Amino acid sequence: MPGADMENIQGKIVVITGASSGMGAAAARHLAAKGASVVLGARRAERIEALAAEITEPGGKATSVATDVTKRDDVEKLVDTAVQTYGRIDVLINNAGIMPLSPMDRLKVDEWDRMIDVNLKGVLYGIAAALPRMIEQKSGHIINLSSVAGHKVFGGSTVYSATKTGVRIISEGLRQEVAPHNVRVTIISPGAVKTELLDHISEADVREANQDYVGQVGVPAETFARLVAFAISEPEDVGINEILFRPTAQEL
């Protein structure tokens, strides 16, 4: 039934972190086209302002809020803006993340700290901002971004994999706790997707190896957007708890 997913997404208020590029931007465009109102958060204010304008110009609904997910006040403001503008929050997509891969012996401690702040604490701050609203509404959906790297470790991914495994554990614990409140929780674990994420890698040899590989096999960010829409579009009594996807050609 081609119209069914439209009905379940139509009119929903969706907050997206990391919405300035890549998978977050693709999800914003896709969900807005299906009738959702999207609230875009990212550090690059000019990017999300332009994206909001792109969505609203043909009649879609979007607003943007400059957001650094490592600052709890910023994340609270993002969710508050959704509620003040549209009256509620139906979906939170904790999409913001960074992936500065490196071997442990290069001691990129600042990058380890940053990954923990963005990939783990940023997700927790999103949950802290949205969850009280969703419990009060007795409905809601939190979608957290893990990764194939949250299921396995590969060259240079040790700390990144730790943060993404942490997201999976947080999400499963949250799912169990909020089930009585009619709040759904979904973990999405992408494989190789063509986005800016690889640009975060400061070690040239690691960056080039990953860019070469993703350039060969990676799927576009719109793949993620379709899977987000699938998870949201299921009826409220169905929780799509985890989606793990890879390009067909990706072996690991």
CA distance 148 to 58: 36
Closest CA to 30 of 86, 95, 76: 95
Per-residue pLDDT, 196:
78
Within a domain: residue 252? no
Within a domain: residue 130? yes
Cα dihedral 114, 119, 120, 121 in deg (nearest 10): 60
CATH number of the domain that 152 lies in?
Answer: 3.40.50.720
Per-residue pLDDT, 6:
57
Instruction: Look up tokens 């759904």; give the residue.
Output: 184
Q: Please report the beta strands in 20-166, taking only residues with DSSP state E, as ranges in sequence order.
A: 37-42, 61-66, 91-94, 140-145
What is the extent of the structural domain holding 164?
A: 4-242
Per-residue pLDDT, 222:
97
Whole-angstrom CA distances from 208 to 104, 131, 148, 200, 221 are: 18, 39, 19, 12, 20
Total count of domains within the chain: 1
According to DSSP, the β-strands at 183-190 and 13-17 are: unpaired
Q: What three-state secondary structure class fits 185?
A: strand
Amino acid at the residue 127? I
Q: What three-state secondary structure class fits 14?
A: strand
Residue 160 designated active-site: yes
CA distance 31 to 103: 37
Please write the tens of the pLDDT for every residue from 8-17: 999 999 999 9
Per-residue pLDDT, 211:
86
Whether residue 2 has pLDDT greater than 50: no
Residues 20 and 42 sit within 8 Å (Cβ to Cβ):
yes
Within a domain: residue 251? no
Among 11-25, 146-160, 184-198, name the one with the lowest average pLDDT: 184-198
Within a domain: residue 201? yes
The two three-digit tokens of residue 75, written as one number: 């994340």
Residues 146 and 188 sit within 8 Å (Cβ to Cβ):
yes
Given pLDDT bands bounded at 50, 70 and 90, which one contains residue 186? very high
Whether residue 60 has pLDDT greater than 60: yes
CA distance 158 to 116: 12
Mean pLDDT of 106-122: 98
More confidently predicted of 7 and 166: 166
CA distance 164 to 146: 5
CA distance 83 to 39: 10
Within a domain: residue 250? no
First-to-last alpha carbon distance for the chain, in angstroms, is 34
Residue 239 CB neighbours (<10 A): 15
Residue 131 CB neighbours (<10 A): 20
Within a domain: residue 10? yes
DSSP code at position 193: B
Q: What three-state secondary structure class fits 17?
A: strand
Cα dihedral 175, 21, 23, 121 in deg (nearest 10): -20
Closest CA to 79 of 106, 29, 40, 36: 40
